Chains A and B, each alone.
Chain A
Amino acid sequence: MPETNEKAGQDFEQVLDQSATEVASFDHRDRSPVERVQHTLHSNPAAVPLIVLVMSLIVFGLIIGSKFFSPFAMTLILQQVAIVGFVGAAQTLVILTAGIDLSVGAIMVLSSVVMGQFTFRYGLPPELAVLCGFIVGGLCGFINGALVALVRLPPFIVTLGMWQIILASNFLYSANETIRSQDISKAAPLLQFFGNKINIGGAVLTFGVITMVLLVLLLNYILNHTSWGRHVYAIGDDPDAAELAGVRVKRTLISVYVCAGLICALAGWVLIGRIGSVSPTAGQFANIESITAVVIGGISLFGGRGSILGMMFGALIVGVFSLGLRMIGTDPQWTYLLIGVLIISAVAIDQWIRKISV
């Protein structure tokens, strides 16, 4: 270092000249296999849910046999988790910022109702009605984001309130009226676009499933390879540090909730394709199911850690368990029981990985 040697610093520092010069190095004792596993899991947050997914597939396959591994059953799982996958993607964005969004399911249903009612009540062209559904979804997200970022209310409270408000508006506006599937396919097939199927040798892929996978891959790219994505993680990690480092925290937070709202609107459109009709009572448990997928997917509820791919694996794990247990013929309550066990184990494993891994 320049200059300092002639100045020589403080008296007590004179001895530093003779002090050991080797850099503090890592202790290269052989790490135990357990530690090595722990380290690998720490650097790949989506690995645990992927392993659980593969293992549950193997176990159910061994019990049920080839019927379970048929292309039909495999793609059925995908169809059943598609909606949760969309809503879970929205939930992931919010949870990565150390927030939570309880209103995702409500936004989804309201958007789908708006798409349906605008077409059938006001006679708008379906394209325009879909656009209006997206605007409503984005607006709900914006209100959430503004209350969280600008008014500084806790996300739990904001979205708990918005959940009730949106759900009530949904029932008031739709007058609890369902639009029948036949009417939609006759007058506005665009609304059922995501219900279209591709058959490949017994495997049935709906457009909704394909879009869900593409959306998750797109978000995975955005979260890891753009500055917006890095800022989302930084805000979840430590919002004050992010602010001081020069991240526009408020703006980014609002954009996260708006994105979540838009994804929920997309989920609402896909929902019409999935169930055929537009029903204000659909998707009642989407918010809880999305949080389940996120948690089983190894994303930390405290923000800043986890991968959106993990969320998709988490949703698939739930799908594999539901279908597998149904094919075995057990009481459906066993599914819920096992999912409860999975949630708690997922968080326990997460804590263990983070404890000493360096």
Chain B
Amino acid sequence: MTEPILTARNLVKRYGRVVALDHADFDLYPGEILAVIGDNGAGKSTMIKAISGAVVPDEGEIMLEGKPVLFSNPMEAQQAGIETVYQNLALSPALSIADNMFLGREWRKPGIAGRLFRQLDRPAMEKFARDKLSELGLLTIQNIGQAVETLSGGQRQGVAVARAAAFGSKVIIMDEPTAALGVKESRRVLDLILDVKSRGLPIVLISHNMPHVFEVADRIHVHRLGRRLCVIDPKEHSMSDAVAYMTGAKMPEQMEAA
């Protein structure tokens, strides 16, 4: 098998006396969609935050393309090419769509206007944002300058996914991207995920929605009690198996698959 693009070994994170991550491992291979499932409080979110730089693990190491990396904030993970769509989307409601897409990595105007007066290149950013949104078939939004708070839930999700797809060069992580959406919007987002995959970017998908997970995932990472319980192939296991593993109703036959 090819080398994993992103691996984590023995991640530990404690919050006071609560152990959120108990020597967790993680592997992501190039070009795949890896679903991460687990019960509430299993530590999925903490693990994802450790990989995306929002949480610094107490122990353990993370390797990106074979090189050890240590992210102390989300910006460093972004610079390394890991983009995350958070469950709360991490959008600023009062700012425009374009401002949100470029938050933290704005483009400045060329020449003196940008270098000396640090003026933002609004037209270029707006054009880029519009292109990315229409590329993903999301442009039902008339005005790229309108505030994000005026968008519907599905449109906001679209903006967050477009931001990740536009800037992620190595890995895209999506935390519950369909949780707040209706049937049609969920379908859009799943199509979007497959679309991103077809461009060769690997995706980590955290979801509670078993039908969605089994439809798009190549492998399923089952997280339980702060660590990886097993990795299963959705073609060989049923949804009820997966649910049984993640809730502890059943133990996988051969512990540790990957």
Residues of A in contact with B (beta carbons under 8 Å apart): 1-4, 7, 9-10, 12-13, 16, 19, 23-24, 221, 225-228, 230-231, 233-234, 237-238, 240-248, 304-305, 358
Contacts and interface: CB of A to CB of B under 8 A. Distances in A.
Nearest to A25: B140
Interface stretch (B2-10, B103-111, B222-230): B103-111
B120 A225 contact: yes
A162 to B, nearest CB: 28
A241 to B, nearest CB: 4
Interface string B164-192: 00000000000000000001100100111
Contact of B103 (A221, A240, A246): A246
A233 B3 CA distance: 43
A304 B94 contact: yes
Contacts of A221: 117
Question: Which residue among A4, A221, A233, A305 has the maximum number of chain B CB atoms within 10 Å of its CB?
Answer: A4
Contacts of B105: 246
B119 A225 contact: yes
A245 B103 contact: yes
28 contacts: A1-B192, A1-B195, A2-B198, A3-B194, A3-B195, A9-B190, A10-B215, A13-B183, A19-B184, A225-B122, A226-B118, A227-B120, A230-B99, A230-B103, A231-B103, A233-B95, A234-B99, A237-B95, A238-B93, A240-B88, A241-B90, A242-B92, A242-B104, A243-B73, A244-B86, A304-B92, A305-B94, A358-B150
Given A13-B183, A23-B140, A228-B118, A244 B54 contact: yes
Contacts of A242: 90, 92, 103-104
B215 A9 contact: yes
Nearest to A235: B92
Contacts of A19: 184
Chain A interface mostly helix, strand, loop or mixed?
A: helix
Contacts of A237: 92-95
A24 B122 CA distance: 28
B234 interface: no
A226 to B, nearest CB: 5
A33 B92 CA distance: 29
Nearest to B198: A2
Given A4-B187, A227-B106, A248-B73, 9 more contacts: A1-B192, A9-B187, A10-B211, A237-B95, A238-B92, A245-B74, A245-B90, A245-B103, A246-B75
A1 B216 CA distance: 14
A234 to B, nearest CB: 4
Task: Please classify how large the interface on chain B is, using the bins under 10, 10 to 19, 20 to 34, 35 or more.
Answer: 35 or more
A358 B142 CA distance: 13
Of the listed residues B78, B103, B192, the one surrounded by the most CB atoms of chain A closer than 10 A to its CB is: B103
A234 B84 CA distance: 18
A1 B137 contact: yes
Contacts of B78: 246
A247 B119 CA distance: 18
Nearest to A45: B94
B92 A234 contact: yes
**Residue from B95, B108, B184 with most neighbouring chain A CB atoms (10 Å):** B95
Contacts of B73: 243, 248
B88 A241 contact: yes
A226 B91 CA distance: 18
B100 interface: yes
A231 B95 CA distance: 10
